[in-house]
Structure 1
Amino acid sequence: MTEQATPRRLAHPGPDEILLEGVLHALSDPVRLAIVRRLAAAPDALACSAFDLPVTKSTTTHHFRVLRESGVVRQTYRGTAKLNALRADELERLFPGLLDRVLHAAAAEEARRG
Structure 2
Amino acid sequence: MPESTRELAHPEPADFVLTDVLFALSDPSRLAIVRQLADGPVETVGCQTLGGEIPKSTRSHYLKTLREAGIIRNVAHGRERLVSLRVDELEARFPGLLASVLAATGGDSSPADPTPL
**RMSD over aligned Cα, in angstroms?**
1.4
- The answer to whether residue 50 in structure 2 is matched with residue 41 in structure 1 is no
How far has the Cα of 1:91 moved from its partner?
Answer: 0.6
Name 1:112's counterpart in structure 2: none
How many pairs were matched up? 102
Which ranges of structure 1 fall in alignment gaps of 5 or more residues?
1-6, 109-114
Q: How does 1:54-69 map to 2 (within 5 A)?
A: 54-69=53-68
Asked if structure 2 preserves the Cα contact closer than 8 Å seen for 1:48 and 1:84, the reply is yes
CA–CA distance in structure 1, aligned partners of residues 26 and 63 of structure 2 = 13
Name 2:50's counterpart in structure 1: 51
Aligned residue identity for 1:37: R
CA–CA distance in structure 2, aligned partners of residues 24 and 44 of structure 1 = 21
TM-score by length of 1: 0.83
- The answer to whether residue 76 in structure 2 is matched with residue 72 in structure 1 is no
Identity across the alignment (%): 47
How far has the Cα of 1:53 moved from its partner?
Answer: 2.6
Normalized per residue, the structure richer in helix is: 1
Name 2:110's counterpart in structure 1: none
* Large movers: runs of 4+ above 4 Å: none
Which ranges of structure 2 fall in alignment gaps of 5 or more residues?
108-117
CA–CA distance in structure 2, aligned partners of residues 97 and 64 of structure 1 = 22
Q: 2:19 aligns with which of 11, 18, 21?
A: 21
Larger radius of gyration: 1
Asked if structure 2 preserves the Cα contact closer than 8 Å seen for 1:10 and 1:75, the reply is yes
Instruction: Please give the per-residue CA displacement for 1:32-52, whole angstroms capped at 9, x wherever unaligned.
Output: 000000111233311111124
TM-score by length of 2: 0.81
Greater RCO between the two (CA within 8 Å, min separation 6)? 2
